[in-house]
Structure 1
Amino acid sequence: MELKMELKTSFIAAAMLTTVTMLSACGSTATESNDPKVNSPMKETAMEAQDAFFKDFDAVEMQKYFREDYIQHNPHVPTGLAPALGFLPVLKDAGLTYKTHRLLEDGDFIIMHNTYDNAELFGAKEVVTFDVWRMQDGQVAEHWDAVSPVIKETASGRSQFDGPTLVTDTDKTQENKQLIADFMEDVFFGKAPEKISEYISTEQYDQHNTMVEDGLVGLNEALAFLESQNNMFDYQKVHRILGEGNFVLAQSEGRWNDKAQAFYDLFRIKDGKIVEHWDIIQEIPEQMAHDNGMF
């Protein structure tokens, strides 16, 4: 239900003028190194990589943190490190700033929930993103993302990124990931939708989708409306379920509004029930800047 984001002509023109392009995960102010979210060596490396690229705009430093054969899945960005290096002056001139609200680690993957200001190059002054990095030998090897404009007025009164940020219950990571896998199968794929209250708390369900009110009632009302409009989300494949402790992210693809879509759903889990949800839905274009696909 998020409004899809299209790159503005000004961005495309700037890219053509510089003959390069950029990663969607960008900014100029990263999570501080003493932030409690940065609680592992790999998370620290990830944030140092963000700083090298998007705070210092330092090509030499950046090459320490990004592999030469860096694989890109943002549909508008060519793959490889060289194009991104060439775009550093454009990033600097744009004056982008960013904030990492959530930072998760799952095996070789880093998951970031970011916002960006002065982001007109992305189609809006403020955007929100989910960024997934695959790390290899201390460097960023691969990148997936979903991007949306920040919407100020939402049905629940919550933003697309506020709420709890700290990882807890790390001993329950696998249990919580399995919960979301089962939830996706039963509810989103329609195997047993009547089980929805077995997954989502009936006491607390904080909603960050801009068009859905809080609570299980709010969700059911939104789904009923979509059904009445013959415009229900069609989840067709889950590509990854990644998470750490009480946070789990599902990367999926399917269709909505008669178009192919990438679905990113982040859930917070407490005592075995889903109590909070953030998401971004981004249209999958027919033509991409590479052959890697969005997943």
Structure 2
Amino acid sequence: MSTSQAPGNSPKLQNAKNLYLEGIRDGRAREAVTQYTGDRYTQHSTGVRDGVEGFVEFFEPFIQRNPDRDIQIIRGFVDGQYVFIHAYQSLNGGKAKWVTTDFFDTDENDKIIEHWDVIAGFFTSPSGNTSVDGVTEITDLDKTEENKEIVRNLLRDALMEGGNPANIPNYVAEDIIEHNKDMPDGIQALIDMASKPNRALNYRRIVLCVGQGNFVATLSEANFNDGTTDQDYAQVDVFRLENGKVVEHWDNMEPVPEENVNGGKF
């Protein structure tokens, strides 16, 4: 388990960052994907086929369409074989702004062999928090597994179908800092959302749970049904924890496509 390693020093994390920055920001798609991926590259990103050629055929036209690419890695951490990246993209002078949440699996040589992502637009919350600002420092390396279990229990006990929102205070601080586009800071907004009799968003399954110290990120299969729209979503949540409770939260959600050019979002 990588939790004993100093944050930011992992070659796995550097390979994931380099794939992003050299391959996409710097426009060297083929060189980067060839250098930083392993014998296979299984892809779950919407519209991107598996392998080196799938990456190149998607990102070379992307690079041409977007000659001005400001890409920043805001957060990144490692948990065993897995890497998580929280990235901000501003394209063509801010004409498009995106937030990407990425999970990578790696092989014994620290090369990337599988990738999942969820991409959504950049926004500001009702309390004035953006979808990427906030604390970035990784601390409490000895609490990684404990914090991952707290997050799993929050989703299972309170937010999944059949969960009880009354359990939320067991896992979430009263003064939580919220980066969701629809919720202000404070625990009450989360309780109110989860307690609606026919709430729109329900978590169905935790696909990945990756953490290091005080940060935990989850990829979940979810469903959004507000009475007019019934859509399956890939949902990413990023949690920062202190003293056994979630004190800050970011999220990203993307519709699951009906047709895939790869194995699907999960």
With structure 1 as the length reference, what TM-score do the two structures score?
Answer: 0.79
Name 1:73's counterpart in structure 2: 44
Is the CA contact 2:29–2:55 (under 8 Å) kept in the aligned structure 1? no
Distance 1:88 1:177, change over 3 A: closer
Alignment of 1:121-200 (within 5 A): 125-136=96-107, 137-152=109-124, 154-189=125-160, 190-200=162-172
Structure number having the greater strand percentage: 2
Q: Which residues of 2 match residues 78-97 of structure 1 at below 5 A?
A: 78-87=49-58, 89-93=60-64, 94-95=66-67, 96-97=69-70
**Residue in 1 that maps onto 2:216:** 248
Tell me, in whole angstroms, the C-alpha distance in 1 between the residues paired with 2:221 and 2:58: 29
Matched, 1:100 2:73: yes
* Aligned-pair CA distance for 1:151: 2.0
RMSD, aligned α-carbons:
2.1
Does the 8 A contact of 1:173 with 1:245 survive in 2? Answer: yes
Aligned to 1:201: 173
Helix, strand or coil at the partner of 2:238: strand
Question: Per-residue deviation at 1:52?
Answer: 3.4
Counterparts of 1:58 and 1:183 in 2: how far apart (Å)?
39
- Do the aligned partners of 1:70 and 1:80 also contact (CA within 8 Å) in 2? yes
Contact conserved, 2:12 with 2:111, CA < 8 A, in 1?
A: no
Tell me the TM-score normalized by structure 2.
Answer: 0.87
- 1:219–1:245 distance in 2 versus 1, CA, 3 Å: same
Q: CA deviation at 1:87?
A: 4.7
Shift of 1:39: 2.5
In 1, Cα distance between equivalents of 2:36 and 2:233? 30
Identify unmatched segments of 5+ residues in structure 1: 1-35
Cα distance change of structure 1 residues 84 and 58 upon mapping to structure 2, 3 Å threshold: closer
Specify the code of the residue in structure 2 equivalent to 1:168. T
Judge conservation of contact 1:250–1:265 (CA < 8 Å) in 2. Answer: yes
Query: Of 188, 200, 206, which residue of structure 2 is paired with 1:232?
Result: 200
2:13 paired with 1:40? no
Instruction: Name the residue aligned to 2:89.
Output: 116
**Aligned residue in 1 for 2:238:** 266
Q: 2:247 aligns with which of 275, 280, 290?
A: 275
CA shift, 1:287, in A, is: 0.8
Return the alpha-carbon distance in structure 2 between the equivalents of residues 87 and 219 of structure 1: 37
Deviation string 1:204-241 (CA, Å, 9 cap, x unpaired) is 200000000100122223345xx26x343121111121
Describe the shift of the 1:145–1:88 C-alpha distance in structure 2 as closer, same or farther (beyond 3 A).
closer
Q: What's the % identity of the aligned pairs? A: 28
Specify every segment of 5 or more residues in structure 2 that has no aligned partner in the other structure, as ranges: 1-5
1:59, 1:268 → 2: CA distance? 35
AA aligned to 2:140 is D
Q: In the aligned structure 2, how far is the partner of 1:51 from the partner of 1:155?
A: 31
Give the 3 Å change call, closer, same or farther, for CA 293–83 of structure 1 in structure 2.
closer
Measured after TM superposition, the shift of residue 58 of structure 1 is: 5.6
Partner of 1:138, secondary structure, is coil
Distance 1:260 1:61 in 2: 32
* Cα distance in structure 2, aligned partners of 1:268 and 1:259: 28
Secondary structure at the counterpart of residue 113 of structure 1? strand
C-alpha separation in 2, matches of 1:176 and 1:41: 24
| Counterparts in 2 of 1:91 and 1:97: CA distance versus 1, 3 Å | farther
Which letter maps to 2:254? Q
- Alpha-carbon distance in structure 2 between the residues aligned to 1:219 and 1:99: 29
Q: CA deviation at 1:91?
A: 3.9
Counterpart contact for 1:57–1:88, Cα < 8 Å: no
With 171-180 and 52-61 compared, the bigger mean Cα shift is at 52-61
CA contact (8 A) 1:134 1:141 kept: yes
- Would the aligned equivalents of 1:133 and 1:141 in 2 still touch at CA under 8 Å? yes
Mean CA deviation greater in 92-101 or 160-169: 92-101
For 1:119 and 1:245, the matched residues in 2 are separated by 36
Aligned length: 251
